[in-house]
Every structure is written in structure tokens, then in C-alpha cells.
Structure 1
Amino acid sequence: MELRWPVVEEAVRRARAEEGGPLCAYLYDLPALAAHARALKRSLPHPFGLFYAAKANAELPILQTLAGVVDGFEASSQGELEWLRSQFASKPLILSGPGKTDTELAAACRLGVELLHVESLGELRRLALIATELGRRVSLLLRLNFPLGPGHETSLVMGGRATQFGVELEQLPAVMDFLAGQEFLEVKGLHFHLLSHQLDAGRHLGLLEEYLRRFTELRAKYRAEWSHLNVGGGIGINYRAPESQFDLARFSEGLLGLAGRFEAEGVSVRFELGRYVTAACGYYAAEVLDIKRCFGETFVVCRGGTHHFRTPQAQGHSHPFRVVPIEDWRYPFARPKVEGERVNVVGQLCTPKDVLAKDAPVERVRVGDVVLFPYAGAYAWNISHRHFLMHAPPRELFLREGGEAC
């Protein structure tokens, strides 16, 4: 997704002028999001479909922007499921995730999810009882966890090893035996989501080939009439080196080569992307409150912090940023500044872990300027410990055509 820096920086300056105090805000570039989502959808040839994983960012303007582009939404809780259904009455929905409660399973039946991803034999047994009691036929995918060969390691792995996700292959015979007598449960296929944060297009294509091989082998072994394969998300955002992002063009070209093989096997494939869809549309803006030196290091203290923007701590990186100069200076003393130095950008919290960027070079930054962090549109505000210290929340501004915010 193209980062429209001039548009966003101008929106920051307008927001700062309106604020009347230190600015702290999220800005979401909806036109850029729409363009990115359309390009992503176009890049997926038949039989590949695109669902959006709402856990990445479920703000309503984000969902509304995506609703006309994606094939459906994926929810991972009853709260997400009910929120999505209340806003999109007819949009196809998926429910996935470990540890589903009986009320969540019942809600999936009641709200008519297109597919429910089952994570264990125990969950399957409870679902069978609930579906029978409600008299609702449920279509489902079995999420499997199986070993992966070398070359499939990333910084976030959900399978191929001991995790809480999916059914281990050794347990699949017991699952299939149980399903044989279930009137209200219909298995449509399998769900493989073994890793995330993949930045290498070639390796991700290789993973899809492995998924196809496993799918066809298991379908033949169990003589099943499976036609659906959900491959989860997995495409990452390169926060450490933003200039080196996932090569979507190469990935799309590779998918063209794979598409015929999936079609020949009669398999419809679905991606469930979250981070890769929305991360680049979001920006976190934090005004500089203070600049201080301590033990030879320089600290730029901002309004906000990791209680608003947890992404750097959650991912363990120093987040990239730009400084937006703000010329308004309201005090009678000289404006504190640093030039041509390396700085640590920190927040207001009473913990030394409240660090957004570490040892980062700046040409110039002054108290009253705004530090602007890109790639803040996914797993950012929604995963932050927002009630810690009870600081006021950031504003949320959604940029429309022309850069106007609402």
C-alpha cells in the first residue's frame, strides 16, 4: 500500500491546530485502504478468495471500506461475530479460533456463519450437541496442525510444533470416526494456518504447495468430499525495514501457476488476511512533550505511548517514524530541540518499557513537533493496554477523499 505522507501530514497539522493541546491521534487513510484492498483482490486469481480477519482492526469505517471488496469477514469471538453481523446482515462470516465457548458455538449456529473452523475433538463434540439441540446444520472446516519442513520459520508460528492451535494429525482418525454419525455437522474441508509474519513471497508460495499436497493426501486417505481449503493469513509487514515489503506482484504471478493445480483438484482456496490488509492505512501521531538527556542518551517524550500503540512492544522492534514540524510555539523560553542525533522515542507511562523507537536517527525534532508512526492500522490501538494509568485515549480520525477527516 502506498503511504500518502503529504496527505497524512497535512491532516496531522490540521488536527494539531484544532486540538488546543498536545495531539495524540490515530489517522486512517481510507482511500489508500480501498485502493490497496482492490489491488489485493485483483491479485488473487480464481479459485482464490479473500476474507478479512476482523481481529486486525474492527473499526466500523475500516470494515465499511472493505465490505464491498472482500468476499467476507472472519471473526474470532462472539463479540466480533455479533458486531460484524449487526453491521453486515448478509455478508459471509467465518468463526475461528481456539477455546470457543458453548455460547459462541450457539451464536455461530444462530447467526448463520458460512463456515465454522473446529480446533479440537472436544470442541467438535460440544458443537454436535449444540447443533442437534438447535436443529441447525453447520458447515465446518477442520483446523489441522502438522509438521512443516525446513524453510518455513517466521517470527510467529502457530503450527508445525506444539501449540494450542488445531488438531494434530495423529488425532484426525478419532475426529473422522466421530463425524461419521453426525446428522447436523458437515465437513466442507480443512483449515491450515501454521505461521504468520511471512515476508518472502517465494516461501509463502512454497507453503501453499505444501498445503495443497497435504489436503489432497488427506482427502484421498479418508475418501472425503472436501472442496474448501482455508490457508489463513500469514503475509507480514516489515516494520524493521519498511522499504522491503512482501512482493505482492511476485506472489500473484506465482498464484497464477498454482491456480490450475487447485482447480484441477476441485479445491476453492480462501485467504484470511488481516495485518497485510490494514496495517499500512493507519498512522499513530504523538506530540513531543519533552526532550531530555540521561546517561549519554536522548529521550523524546511524547503524548501517548505503548498503552495507545502497543505494536512495537508486541513485535519487539523499533518502529519507523517521521517528524512532522509544527511551528506553533506557545512558551516564552527557547524551544528545546535536538539535531542530527540518535534518539529514543518514549511515552508517558511509568515504566521503562514504554518505548516506541530505540536509537533512531533524526535530522531535527523539537518539543511541540509531532512524531508520526506509519503501519499502525492493524494490531495497534485494539491490542493496547488502554486503561493503564487512565490517560485520555487518542483521537481516531478517518481520512476521506481529499484528506478530510471525520
Structure 2
Amino acid sequence: MLRNSCLNSAIEKIAGDADQITDDMRRMLAVDTCFPPGNGYGQFADLMMQLLTPMNFSCQRISVPEHLWQAPDGSAQGDRVNVLATLNSGAAENCNLYFHTDTVPAGDGWRFPPLALTVAEGKLYGRGAADMKGTIVAAMAAVRAAQACNLPLRFNPVFLLCTDEEGGLYPGIRYLAEQQLFSGHLLSFNGGAVPRIWAGCFGSIDLKVVITGRSAHSGDPLLGINAIEAALPLMNALYQLKGEVEQRTSVMPSPPHYQGQPLTSLLTLASAHGGSKGSTIPERFELLINRRYAPEEAFDDVWQELTQCIDQAMDGSRALDVSLQLIGHLAPVADPYGPHWPRWQAALTQGFGFPREAFKPWGSSTSSDMGWVQQAGIQEILLGGLARPDNRIHAADEFTTMADVIALSQSILAYLADDFQPTQGI
């Protein structure tokens, strides 16, 4: 990659920006944006506007209407505040930089405070450090370096700071895309620090089944209806369906760690809740089903298969009621490749030092809210991020490293810079 002295100075400036990077991350991790419930989005939006406005970003707060995101089980709470922040650098084209602002709940098992930045053992610990508040920090450092060095940009950076990627019925990016509030290609940071060409991902459905029986004393159960026992035929039927579903393969190339095995559709009995004590017949039983479906499968067909399985299994049951609640849905992503991908690959090579020949296309059976972006008309989606196999995303002691944050920031800077010239043949 050829770069002039101005670009070279800006890239070097990022490496010397560790103190500001650390301070930005500390402030972001301190805001609890876990989903569920998602009560912290407004506070995080306030923080981001405080950080971005002095950098000459023009910021908009955009809330998703409640009737779109409110789930039947009440798991989502609080205003769904998204921030759309645009820096008009005079470029002819925008590049939309997507970040989800929510995290999974902290959970148990942490050695360090989860809602604070801990710098220890050569790592940056905290919930969201890698997934994905650290990527916001990296993008801010890239823009800060460009401004300090008066570096001309090829693209106007547009930060899309969005809600409810970690679950829920209506991710914020879906609303922004469907309302046509941004245009141009999109760079998602919901990926990893790896030489990957994104080939797409599966969709995901979270379906809750609520079975209602009748409580009674377990020593005098004649008038009772045991909701857990009434659900046994359903769990057996779903487990049988699981075996059928997971025989279906996708043409999407699988990740390297699959060692040549294909990606398959998935069905998981993910959560079960019912009962309170041994002396009481349980009146209510809740079963959460997760279904991962390939781009080759249609949502309507997947939904019909699930609901028919449930209806047939519960036909003739003594249960007083069986209700179905769709509490989460992400659409699959079909091949998101496009004309900007070679430049992004070259930028990742610049930042992380990946060999050009290491880049391979693969998809995954994990899911993304980018499927809604494609359905709204934006096909090309670039992918990067801070995720690595060992940095405990969604687990206790999540971390990233300063080296990875700087490398990602340098990649973003190179991609945005007008003078960055990818090497021929990448």
C-alpha cells in the first residue's frame, strides 16, 4: 500500500493515542447498556454525543417506536435511542460505520468489575471491551488522527450507534435502514480481528412457548394440571425435529475451524422455566426455542414447521392454554460482497499485518442484524472488529488488547483516507 507522509503521520499518531483510547473506553464501559432489558441506551447516547460533537460530528437521536420493539414477555424496557452521527469531510461518498451499543448482561464469574475498564495482564477487561464498544473507540481514534493531521478523506464517516443487536424484535439498524436514514455502503464492526471475507450468516428465531396448567398441592393433585409434565410430548417432538433440521446443509462456506464440515441449520432448546417448590403442582412452564436458519430457507417455511410441530405435539393435551411468543428475530445475510471489499482487505492488511493470501471467504451459523439492512436495499456490507476466539465475548472477563484496538483504528483510518492506495491484486 502506498501512503504519503500525511497518512503515515496519522497512522503513527494512533499508536501514541493510548491514553485517550483508554479514557474513551473507560467512559463507555461504565454505562450499562445490557440487553435485556436495554434501559441504558439513552445514557449511552448522551455520552456519545458529548464525545462526537467536539469532533465536528452532526448528531441525531433517533428512537425506535415502542410498538415495534416491545416483546410480549416484557423483556425489553426503556427508550430505544440510536445515534446517527455524520462528519462532513467534503468527500463525495459516505461510509456508514455500524456499531451496536448493547451488550449481553454481565453474568457471573468475573475477576474484575464488569462495568468498568480494568487494565491488567496486558489486556483491557470489561463487558463490551471487544463486543463492541472497543470498536467505537477505535473508530474515534482514527477520525481524531485524521483531523489532527489534516488528512483528506475518501469517505465521509457516518457512525450508526444502534440498539438491540443482542436480541429483541426490532434492532435499531433495521429501523434506520427501513426509514432510509442513511445511504451508501456499510462497514459493520460485529466481526473479528481475522483475515476474513464475509460470506454471510444465518438468521435466528427466538420463540417462547408458554404452557398453562392448574396449580394444586402435590400431595392432593386431582384437580391440578402439571404444566411441566404437559410439555414433555412437546420437548420430545422438538428434539426429534432438531435431528431432522440439523441434517440440512448450507452452500455458504464454513469457518476454518469447521475443518471442511458444512454449516447446518440448528434447533436448540435454549431455556426452560417452571415450578417453584416440591409441594406445588407447577401451573406454568416456559420453553425458549432458538432456530438458526440458512439464507436458503424461507422464514415462513421455518415458522410453519415450528408451529406445526408444537400444535401437533400439544394436540389433546390437558394444558389449559399453549401460547407462542416471537421474542427475537434476525434475518439471514446473503453474500454481502461488493466493490469496496478489496479496499477494506488492503486496509486490514495495513492495520493488522495480515498476509494478503490469508483472506478467505466464510460464513457462520451465528446471526447478525445486517440481514435487515440487506432487506432494506443495501447489499454490500464490509466486516471487521475485535473478536478473537480467546477474548471471552459473552463470557466473564471479556477483554481486548490495546494492540488490537490500535490495529483496527489504523485499518479504519487507511480505509477512509483519500491517499490510501491498495496494492494491485488483493
Higher relative contact order (CA 8 A, sep 6+): 2
**TM-score over 0.5 for the alignment?**
no
> Given the two structures, how large is their TM-score scaled by the length of structure 1?
0.30
